[in-house]
Amino acid sequence: MINLEIPKKYKPLATQANQVATEVFRPISRKYDEAEHSYPKELDMLASLIDGMNEGSDLGGAGATGVRRSANGSDPGENRNGSNLSTVLGVIELCWGDVGLLLSMPRQGLGNSAIASVATDEQLERYGGKWAAMAITEPEAGSDSAAIRTTAELDGDEYVLNGEKIFVTSGDRADLIVVWATLDRSKGRAAIKSFIVERDNPGLKLDRLEHKLGIRASDTANFTLQDCRVPREALLGDPEVKEKGFAGVMETFDNTRPLVAAMAVGVTRAALEETRRRLASAGVEIDYDAPALSQPAAAARFLEMEADYEAAWLLTLQAAWMADNSKPNSLQASMAKAKAGRTCVDVTLGCVELCGAVGLGETELLEKWSRDAKILDIFEGTQQIQLLIVARQLLGKTSSELR
């Protein structure tokens, strides 16, 4: 059964991540929010340090990657705290510092999580140490990943990819792009596979970088794939088109959605801690032993937001723990991502409201966190698509029956 306390062996990792957030991320957070599309060079040494921590430890990833379900098998009845949980705990602390800077760190992209989750040992050896972005969304395919139109046709020993990808996080800076494409559109979602494309592939053309509301330190790219050739070995997973083949591709989200939930939890905690400090300086005391309705309105509102934060945090830990213990966690991953994403938006905006003019000031981080929060409710599956997934699983409905 899950233990809701942070495992002792992970407390040093969480402490180190918090120190990074405090000493590195927070001081440059506003700088790179204003200097959109400028690469934070301060992160190069930090990324190398995290690589060393990961290589020299059996506790799992210290950054945003390191999740691999196949390595987490456990005996029946054994309670395992593995790389998914350790990664989530590290991500929470780092995003307490700055979520955009975490997404800008080399080799810590969601594409790295996808590769770590489903790549073969040969692929892990070939692409290890490289920064990978994830390219799923298209102009005609957003939350409905099954509607992807980018094609992949086998030509000898190579696949030829053609299509367009938008909103690719870290797409311009990454070494690799994990591209979702269909082998045969007539066979529906079963034919959708993911392919590893080198960033310098001549068939992968950068169209533009997006100007965004939040996470401005992270670049977001749009690409066109024109006769983009990749070797057969670049296909992740099973190349055969099977009736339930798409389920294998979608399993990637069971590992990455808890990571996005962790990002939201970190930003939420940052906003709550700053707001608590501001309320205390204004003479508003929060009494946990008294009913909320008997306290000042600001204190009652804070307690309500803090309760939502606690729920999001627990759901996130549960989803990661289930992955570590080889338990199906698709439902829990979607619940965690939905709750944490919505909570992050509601809480950061609520904190801005409680702090008044201070919350809106550009010299403070509350204003920035409220902008960063929105994307955490959107990418890796929107709030609406997460609730749809949850409803399907609870009601026992298929995607064709409930859409």
C-beta atoms surrounding 368 within 10 Å: 22
Distances (CA, A) of 184 to 138, 154, 232, 264: 17, 11, 16, 36
Residue 131 · residue 106 · CB < 8 Å: yes
Q: What are phi and psi of 402, to 5 degrees?
A: -135, 110
Tokens of 242: 């099977």
Tokens of 223: 């690409």
CA 335, distance to chain mean position in Å, is: 14
d(Cα 289, Cα 62) in Å, to the nearest integer? 37
Tokens of 189: 């979602």
Annotated catalytic residue 367: no
Q: What is the DSSP letter of 141?
A: B
C-beta atoms surrounding 75 within 10 Å: 6
The four Cα atoms 136, 138, 140, 145 give a dihedral, to 10 degrees, of: 0
Q: What are phi and psi of 356, to 5 degrees?
A: 60, -130
Scanning the structure block, which residue is given the tokens 């053309």?
205
C-beta atoms surrounding 131 within 10 Å: 19
- What DSSP string describes 150-182? -EEEEETTEEEEEEEEEEEETTTT-SEEEEEEE
Q: Which element (helix H / strand E) includes 193? A: strand 192-198
3-state secondary structure of 356: coil
Catalytic residue among 164, 251, 367, 380: 380
The residue count for the chain: 403
C-beta atoms surrounding 306 within 10 Å: 18
C-beta atoms surrounding 249 within 10 Å: 22
3-state secondary structure of 133: strand
Q: What are phi and psi of 319, to 5 degrees?
A: -60, -40
Scanning the structure block, which residue is given the tokens 């009845």?
77
Q: Which residues are catalytic?
A: 380
